[in-house]
Amino acid sequence: MTVSGNLFILSAPSGAGKSSLIKALLQQSNDRKMQVSVSHTTRDPRPGEENGVHYHFVSKAEFEQKIAAGEFYEWAEVFGNYYGTSEAAIDAQLAQGIDVFLDIDWQGAQQVRMKKPTVTTIFICPPSRQELESRLRSRGQDSDEVIADRMAQAQSECSHYQEFDYIVVNDDFDQAVTDLQIVISNQRLKRSQQSQKHAALFDALLAE
């Protein structure tokens, strides 16, 4: 019997290191399949992006049909383009015993939680405002105005930290990865998971 996978949401303000943490987590995992969800979007592919790998690229009409049919766990419109997480695709992965990670914001997390209350939510937090701004500036990509906007957005996102099950402060990177691994282990050790995984054992232990 295949043990159902766990659904995780990871949210963080820009510059908190979420993408790097997810990448390191997947690289270090060798005991069970883990994947990051591939979202649907209506924006055009960027150079090097592959359909079905980076995103599922669809037309606006197709996306809106999926919204009307209730096919998304969550969706949002950002700068004129739609982004969404397919419920059927996620459920199929979970049924195969794959742990799935959704890289979405707090608003998306609220939508998913309404449809799937068992989802595990994790907020990745920067160690300080100063460090967050330093990380944003170190990229060398944004103007002072853009950085100011990102800092204001980060403050808004951090104000929702109480809505999440777990908080991981990304101060020491290796420790943050370890903290995420602990959260994943906690979910795998829950009774609902262990009773599936060890059904034969419990049947034998409780046999008359």
Kindly state whether residue 57 falls inside one of the protein's structural domains: no
User: 161 is in which domain, residue-wise?
Assistant: 7-37+98-205
Q: Average pLDDT per run of 10 along the chain, which is 208 residues long?
A: 89 92 88 87 95 95 97 94 96 94 95 96 95 86 86 93 96 96 94 90 91
Kindly state whether residue 90 falls inside one of the protein's structural domains: no
The answer to whether 124 and 176 are in contact (CB under 8 A) is yes
Total count of domains within the chain: 1
pLDDT for 110: 96
pLDDT for 31: 59
- Residue labelled with tokens 């104000």: 159
pLDDT for 142: 79
pLDDT for 208: 78
* C-alpha to C-alpha distance for 13 and 47, rounded to whole angstroms: 25
pLDDT for 1: 62
The answer to whether 104 and 90 are in contact (CB under 8 A) is no
Residue 87: name the closest of 40, 120, 121 by CA. Answer: 40
Kindly state whether residue 138 falls inside one of the protein's structural domains: yes
Kindly state whether residue 68 falls inside one of the protein's structural domains: no
Kindly state whether residue 55 falls inside one of the protein's structural domains: no
Tally Cβ neighbours within 10 Å of residue 169: 15
Kindly state whether residue 129 falls inside one of the protein's structural domains: yes
pLDDT for 32: 64
Kindly state whether residue 89 falls inside one of the protein's structural domains: no
Domain CATH number, residue 18: 3.40.50.300
From residue 105, give the alpha-carbon distance in Å to each of 39, 74, 114: 13, 10, 15
Kindly state whether residue 70 falls inside one of the protein's structural domains: no
pLDDT for 79: 86
